[in-house]
Structure 1
Amino acid sequence: MTPSDDPARQGTILIANPSGDLYGSDRMMLEAARGLVRDGWRTVVTCASDGPLVARLREAGAEVVVLSAPVVRKSMLSPRGMAALLRDIVTRLPRMRRLVREVDPDVVLVNTVTVPFWTLAARTCGTPAVVYVHEAEAGLSGPARALLTAPLRLATGVVFNSETSRRVAGWESADRQLRADVVPNGVVGPAQARPARLEITGPLRVVYVGRLSPRKGTDLVLRAAARLRDAGVETDVEIVGSVFPGYEWYETELRELVDQLDLAAQVRFTGFRETVWRELADADVAVVPSRLDESFGNVVIEALLSERPVVVADHTGLAEAASGFSAAVLVPSDDEEALARGLLQVRDGWTHYRAGARRDAARARREYGTDRFHARLLRALRRHTAPAPSAAPGDRQWTPALD
Structure 2
Amino acid sequence: MNHDVLEKSLLRPATRSALDELTQVPERQAKPRRTPLRADKRVRIAIVHDWLVTYAGAEKVLEQIIACFPEADLFSLVDFLDDRDFLRGKSVTTSFIQKLPLARSKYRSYLPLMPLAIEQLDVSAYDVVISSSHAVAKGILTGPDQVHISYVHSPIRYAWDLQHQYLQQSKLTHGPKSILARLILHYIRNWDIRTSNSVDGFISNSAFIARRIKKVYQRDAQVIFPPVDVEAFSLCTEKEDFYLTASRMVPYKKIDLIVEAFTQMPERKLIVIGDGPEMEKIRAKAGANVDILGYQPFKVLKDHMSRAKAFVFAAEEDFGISVVEAQACGTPVIAYGKGGALETVRDLSEPKPTGMFFDEQDTESIIGAVSRFDDLADRFVPANCRSNAEQFSAAHFRERFFEHVRAAVPALRAATLPPYVPYVTHAQAAANVPRTLAVDQSGVLGGAELSLLEIVKALRSRIEVVLFDDGPFRTALAKTGVEVNVLDAGALKSVRKQGGSLPKGQALKGLISLVRATAKRARHVDVIYANTQRAMVIGALAGKLARRPVVWHLRDIVSPEHFGGKQLAIIKWCARLGLTHVIANSAASAQAFSQLTQFDGKRIDVVFNGISAEPFDALRTVPQATLRERLKLPHDAFLVGSFSRLARWKGQHVLLEAMVLNPHMHAVLVGAALFGEDQYEIELRAFVAAHKLGGRVHFLGFQHDIPACMCAVDAVVHTSITPEPFGRVIVEGMLAQRPVVAARAGGVLEIIDDHENGVLCAPGDAHALADTLAELRSNGELREKLVRNGYQTALSRFGTRTYVDGVARILKSVVEK
User: Normalised by the size of structure 2, how large is the TM-score?
Assistant: 0.43
Shift of the alpha carbon at 1:15? Answer: 0.3
Q: Percent identity?
A: 27
Q: CA deviation at 1:385?
A: 1.3
Checking the alignment, whether the CA contact within 8 Å between 2:758 and 2:790 is kept in structure 1 is: no
| Residue type at the aligned position of 1:191 | D
Q: Distance in 2 between matches of 1:92 and 1:373?
A: 29
CA distance in structure 2 between the aligned counterparts of 1:7 and 1:327, rounded to whole angstroms:
40
Instruction: Give the superposition deviation at 1:143.
Output: 6.1
Change (3 A) 1:321 1:327: closer
Residue equivalent to 2:584: 160
CA distance in 2, matches of 1:165, 1:112: 13
- Between the two proteins, the alignment pairs up a number of residues equal to 368
The answer to whether residue 67 in structure 2 is matched with residue 67 in structure 1 is: no
Matched, 1:169 2:593: yes
Question: In 2 relative to 1, CA 256–157 (structure 1 residues): closer, same or farther, beyond 3 Å?
Answer: same
What is the root-mean-square deviation of aligned Cα atoms in Å? 2.4
Aligned-partner SS, 1:46: strand
Tell me by how many angstroms 1:288 deviates. Answer: 0.4
Q: CA deviation at 1:213?
A: 0.7
Residue among 31, 34, 37 paired with 2:457: 34
SS at match of 2:804: helix
Hey, what's the Cα distance between the residues in 1 that align with 2:693 and 2:465? 43
Q: Which moved more, 1:109-118 or 1:213-222?
A: 109-118
CA separation in 1, counterparts of 2:541 and 2:707? 39
Residues 101-135 of structure 1: per-residue CA shift (max 9 Å, x gap): 3xx11111011223212221122211121111001
How far residue 379 of structure 1 moved from its aligned partner, in angstroms, is: 0.6
Q: Which residue of 2 aligns with 1:18?
A: 441
- Higher Rg: 2
Asked whether the equivalents of residues 109 and 129 of structure 1 are also in contact (C-alpha less than 8 Å), the reply is yes
Q: Displacement of 1:159 after TM fit?
A: 0.9
Supply the AA of the counterpart residue of 2:599: A
Question: In the alignment, is residue 207 of structure 1 matched against residue 641 of structure 2?
Answer: yes
- Are residues 1:302 and 2:725 paired? no
| Aligned counterpart, 2:464 | 44
* Aligned counterparts of 2:476 and 2:564: Cα–Cα separation in 1: 36
**Greater RCO (CA < 8 Å, at least 6 residues apart):** 1
The within-5 A match list for 1:129-278 is 129-138=550-559, 139=561, 140=563, 144-153=567-576, 154-171=578-595, 173-175=598-600, 179-189=603-613, 190-192=616-618, 194=620, 203-229=637-663, 234-278=664-708
Give a deviation string over 1:232-286, Cα, whole Å, max 9, x none: xx11221111111422222222111111110111111111122311111111101
| Partner SS, residue 74 of structure 1 | coil
Aligned equivalents of 2:784, 2:572: Cα separation in 1: 41
TM, length-normalised to structure 1:
0.84
Amino acid at match of 2:554: V
- Describe the shift of the 1:85–1:323 C-alpha distance in structure 2 as closer, same or farther (beyond 3 A): farther
Query: Any conservation in 1 of the 2:740–2:786 contact (CA below 8 Å)?
Result: no
- Structure 1 residues 314 and 9 mapped into 2: Cα distance closer, same or farther (>3 Å)? closer
Change (3 A) 1:131 1:80: closer
Partner of 1:372: 802
Q: Aligned partners of 1:325 and 1:373: how far apart in 2?
A: 26
Structure 1 residue runs of 4 or more that deviate by more than 4 Å after TM superposition: 6-9, 80-85, 140-144
CA distance in 1, matches of 2:746, 2:707: 25
Give, in whole Å, the separation in 2 of the partners of 1:242 and 1:253: 13
Q: For 1:8 and 1:268, how far apart are their aligned partners in 2?
A: 46
> For residues 755 and 731 of structure 2, what CA distance do their matches in structure 1 show?
10
The residue that corresponds to 2:764 in the other structure is 334
| In structure 2, distance between residues paired with 1:275 and 1:260 | 31
Q: What is residue 514 of structure 2 aligned with on the other side?
A: 92
SS in structure 2 at match of 1:215: helix
How many Å separate the matches in 1 of 2:506 and 2:676?
17
2:646 alignment partner, SS class:
coil
Aligned equivalent of 1:359: 789
Structure 1 alignment gaps of length 5 or more = 1-5, 388-403
Cα deviation code 1:35-81 (max 9, x no counterpart)? 212xxx42211111111111111112211111124465235x34465
Kept after mapping to 1: 8 A contact 2:487/2:514: no
After TM superposition, list the pairs within 5 Å mapping 1:280-299 onto structure 2: 280-299=710-729
Cα distance, 1:141–1:243 mapped onto 2, change above 3 Å: closer
Alignment deviations for residues 73-93 of structure 1 (CA, whole Å, 9 cap, x no partner): 235x34465666534323432
One-letter amino acid of the counterpart of residue 175, structure 1: D
- Cα drift, residue 311 of structure 1: 0.9
1:124 to 517, 531, 545: 545
Paired amino acid for 1:133: L
